[in-house]
Chains A and B, each alone.
Chain A
């Protein structure tokens, strides 16, 4: 009927609509092909990983005198209710050469007092080797009952600043950055340290984060994994699974991994310090951690364009975090990922590369991904976080 009334308009619109149809079809075919490729890569990576670790004894890593030492950096702000349990759980992680640096980021509540009472802290003269500029440190405390615990009290400056203070004070070969609300498997550090033992060019490794809602938790450990009954939290379980297993592992294979989750990650300390630590402009405390750029540390490490520096996602090493049950904020990860991609870590001019050829991290949009062997940057496009 319409075609009879407006024949000219229909004749004019028909090819445009057909072209639009084709474009949409092509777009979806392309994006699904990309997803299928990513799934294929993730599957390949997972299979190889399983074949490598099947029957492997991690006791070797636990009991060896040559495993690298690890410093855990745990920033805390207003966490008087949970800090004692969190610190106890971290101190009980199964790793031989472990140091825990708790940074009280100017909490107005009783976080510091709780720590002092629970862990028998004594103040020590507060001088700090300031390799990274930070807000002032008010005090340093050592525990008489736990020699590997160091507590720092500092003026509030945000998570990045707290982590930078931790970096200044840490003494381990590797630093583990962890959110206070992340629950970690007891042997997670042994698994996460594995990539550093396997390849000399690994700068950072991230664990697989899962949602703890619905699981049974006792003494800071997940004793019985379970699924949440709530719909929104359930959706997040799938989303985390997609992001960590399918996304990051797939990018690992393709050499495009750029992000280590702020909830749980392990980094080479010398590389972090050489890179200048954390920047202060990350989207939020729960957004993916941004590191000022892997180009600086590799300047020390590689002598030519062929050297690779990798960021690794570990598929079997898991931490768990809580998800909220209502949609309050969306896109925090997405904005974090966008910032990460568009900021200095990826867009830094290539003059900072070791060989000066600019072959590793170019400044052109088309070549912003480092040609590392392993990596991951597929953060969710929209995410729900408490």
Chain B
């Protein structure tokens, strides 16, 4: 996957959990909890969706690394062979 594809996967996973969001309005460096209303069930569904799209298993202890879109892309790219 390219970095852009990882970003698409993260945003796509987020939109699948919170379909009311607009991709264009999401700010990559602002914590998701400050721009999206997510409860723990949503976070789990987001992590499951990220897994489905990127095949990266995010352990519970690493959830904090997904706090922003940019952070999530960095983290996932680091776990994958990103070109």
A, B assembled together: no
Q: Which residues of A line the B interface, CB within 8 A?
A: none
Q: Which residues of B line the A interface, CB within 8 A?
A: none
